């Protein structure tokens, strides 16, 4: 009770007459716990400094003073008590039996000043309790927006620093492996020059084939995402840019000539021939004498044949000067795999396993060690989901008996005159008679 109300003289007399300063009640709360629970800083100093009570003393369920100091009873005095406990060596990442850390407690209570102090002291912002919840999850559950915003920023900064530190370790491993690889190839070159040249040419050829294969796979995946790898049956007979290039190569004088005995074929006949699957017309008949824009399919009937000619390039154009990868590739010297727990494992070709492996995702390590093993073109954004024109549904034109909707027409009428009522009755009777 003396620690609860903050009576310093009474607390000192009680602790001197007690059997132990760690004497607790039925819940396992001693004087230091109650002083922290109610934010009594002077009582905390007396218990810790004069009677040398451990600041990490836990209750029966694992609550420590640094947990209890962030409570409703402590009020605005929680921050100064928290700073004192941290200064005295309190464990900022200690967890009770439910996995609750001091940062979890501060997040659930919505104490932004205590959260800032704990994060500055090095509290784990990614710690999880027994239910798998992080401190930011508790902020969202209890609608503490300012606390959640601060924790989100702190988590991003900490993740960024950790990633940079692990990438620095990976770069050191790469430098060491590159020196080992150079020394190995120098020794092999001295021992057997012919074998060295043969192996070197084989590796270069292998990398080129691998790059071509990866480009082909990347292009196929791109087509699959665009849903254009399999066109409808009528589109399989369309002319692609290669055919157009062949037609452009024909001299215009020869194209313009019509052989004697042949009639000039109209554009509609050409379209009907393409749709019905008839044999292709001759090159002289296909090439127009004047350039004209192809008409769009004006039909709204889904069962009508398609007359549009939509084509796509058959290859990915890399440009005249494709981007070159300047990073060293360890494809012939290092091997990357996963262990039974799914963690990455790096092995050298002749010197065994490398350890420790940086704490990075498997994809990041693979992309850093083997830069030539990925397509050199940037992949398409994942947010875009294109729809092919042939998959767009087309509607029919309304028939005579469905020129207007009865309900809408009646709702829009201001007055129901006799002529309109007669038209409505005739329309309803026609529909009932047809059904």
Q: What is the pLDDT of residues 56-73, one digit of tens each?
A: 999 999 999 999 999 888
pLDDT digits (tens, 9 = 90+) for 299-332: 555 555 554 444 444 444 444 445 566 678 887 7
Number of structural domains found in the chain: 1
Which residues constitute the domain of residue 111? Answer: 2-143
| SS3 state of residue 374 | coil
Residue with tokens 């940062």: 103
Q: What is the pLDDT of residue 78?
A: 93
What average pLDDT score do residues 245-270 get?
A: 45
Q: Name the pTM for this structure.
A: 0.55
- Split at pLDDT 50, 70, 90, the class of 166 is very high
Q: What is the pLDDT of residue 248?
A: 52
- Split at pLDDT 50, 70, 90, the class of 392 is low
Domain presence at residue 107: yes
- For residue 161, count other CB atoms closer than 10 A to its CB: 10
Domain presence at residue 301: no
Is pLDDT larger for residue 280 or for residue 432?
A: 432
What average pLDDT score do residues 180-197 get?
A: 70
Rounded Cα–Cα distance for residues 101 and 96 (Å): 7
Tokens representing residue 302 in the block? 């889904």
104 closest CA partner among 12, 401, 96, 160: 96
pLDDT digits (tens, 9 = 90+) for 116-136: 999 999 999 999 999 999 999
- Which alpha helices (H) appear in 46-144, and where do they start and end? 65-68, 78-87, 102-109, 112-121, 135-141
Domain presence at residue 265: no
Q: Are 27 and 60 in contact (CB under 8 A)?
A: yes
> Does the pLDDT of residue 380 top 70, yes or no?
no
Q: Are 376 and 323 in contact (CB under 8 A)?
A: yes
312 closest CA partner among 392, 229, 214: 229
Least confident of 38-42, 196-200, 206-210, 280-284: 280-284
Mean confidence (pLDDT) of the chain: 75
What CATH number corresponds to the domain at position 22? 1.25.40.20
Domain presence at residue 166: no
Domain presence at residue 243: no
Domain presence at residue 230: no
Domain presence at residue 148: no
Residues near 234 by beta carbon (within 8 Å), at least 6 away in sequence = 274, 275, 305, 306
pLDDT digits (tens, 9 = 90+) for 405-417: 556 666 666 777 7
Domain presence at residue 89: yes
């Amino acid at each position: 009770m003396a620690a609860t109300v903050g009576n310093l003289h009474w607390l000192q007399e009680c602790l001197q007459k007690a059997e132990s300063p760690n004497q607790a009640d039925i819940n396992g709360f001693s004087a230091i716990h109650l002083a922290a629970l109610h934010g009594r800083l002077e009582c905390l100093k007396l218990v810790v400094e004069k009677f040398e009570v451990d600041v990490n003393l836990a209750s029966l369920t694992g609550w420590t003073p640094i947990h209890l100091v962030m409570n409703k009873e402590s009020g605005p005095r929680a921050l100064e008590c928290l700073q004192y406990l941290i200064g005295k060596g309190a464990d900022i990442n200690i967890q009770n039996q439910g996995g609750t850390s001091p940062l979890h407690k501060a997040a659930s209570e919505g104490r932004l000043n205590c959260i800032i102090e704990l994060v500055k002291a090095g509290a784990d912002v990614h710690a999880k309790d027994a239910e798998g919840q992080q401190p930011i999850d508790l902020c969202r559950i209890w609608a503490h927006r300012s606390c959640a915003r601060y924790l989100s920023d702190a988590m991003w900064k900490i993740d960024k620093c950790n990633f940079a530190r692990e990438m620095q370790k990976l770069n050191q491993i790469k430098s060491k492996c590159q020196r080992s690889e150079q020394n190995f190839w120098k020794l092999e070159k001295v021992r057997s020059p012919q074998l060295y040249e043969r192996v070197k040419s084989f590796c270069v050829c292998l990398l080129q084939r691998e790059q071509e294969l990866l480009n082909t796979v990347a292009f196929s995946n791109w087509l699959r995402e665009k849903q254009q790898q399999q066109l409808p049956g009528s589109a399989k007979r369309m002319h692609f840019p290669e055919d157009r290039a062949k037609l452009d190569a024909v001299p215009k004088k020869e194209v313009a000539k019509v052989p004697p005995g042949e009639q000039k074929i109209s554009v509609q006949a050409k379209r009907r021939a393409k749709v019905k699957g008839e044999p292709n017309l001759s090159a002289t008949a296909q090439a127009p004498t004047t350039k004209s824009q192809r008409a769009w399919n004006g039909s709204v009937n889904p069962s009508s044949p398609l007359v549009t000619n939509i084509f796509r390039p058959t290859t990915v154009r890399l440009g005249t000067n494709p981007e070159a990868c300047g990073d060293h590739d360890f494809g012939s010297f290092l091997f990357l795999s996963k262990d039974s727990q799914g963690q990455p494992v790096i092995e050298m070709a002749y010197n065994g396993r490398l350890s420790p492996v940086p704490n990075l995702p498997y994809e990041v390590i693979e992309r850093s060690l083997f830069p030539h093993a990925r397509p050199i073109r940037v992949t398409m954004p994942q947010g875009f989901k294109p729809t092919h024109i042939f998959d767009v549904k087309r509607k029919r034109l309304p028939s005579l008996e469905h020129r207007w909707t009865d309900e809408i027409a009646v709702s829009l009428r201001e007055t129901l005159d006799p002529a309109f009522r007669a038209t409505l009755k005739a329309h309803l009777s026609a529909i009932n008679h047809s059904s």
